[in-house]
Amino acid sequence: MDKRSPCVRPTGAPIFHAMGDPADTMRPVWRTRLAAALLAWMGLVIGATLASSRLLESLPAGSLPFVALGLYIAPIPILLVWSFWAMLREPTRR
């Protein structure tokens, strides 16, 4: 029978022992696929914003609302759900 407090983490124990068999070390968030997708989307938004005058000239008038919706609005809930899912899942061994 172990007499130690359940709050004391023994050396060499997993970081989140209550979540099953997690990683020994956490992978930094900037080295995940989510971070790459966020950076790509931010780059796309900045590029489209800087080129917006040229896009207004070259795209048909009827497609502008769909382009704006697809570029600026639609990725936000997708990335938020992906972020929430990535936050809640167990860390993996790398």
At 6-31, the pLDDT tens digits run 565 555 544 544 555 555 666 677 77
Domain ranges of the chain: 28-88
Q: Which of 15, 38, 21, 14 is nearest to 86 (CA)?
A: 38
Higher pLDDT, 56 or 91: 56
How sure is the predictor about 87, in pLDDT bands with cuts at 50, 70 and 90? Answer: confident
Task: Report pLDDT digits (tens) over 47-85.
Answer: 888 888 888 889 898 898 898 888 888 888 998 888 888
Query: Is 32 within 8 Å of 86 (Cβ atoms)?
Result: yes
Q: Which of 25, 10, 84, 9 is nearest to 76 (CA)?
A: 84
Model-level pTM?
Answer: 0.54
- HSE of 85 in the Cβ direction (CA atoms, 13 Å)? 9
Judged against a pLDDT cut of 70, whether residue 3 lies above it is answered with: no
Query: Is 16 within 8 Å of 84 (Cβ atoms)?
Result: no
**CA torsion, points 14, 18, 23, 27, in degrees to nearest 10?**
-110
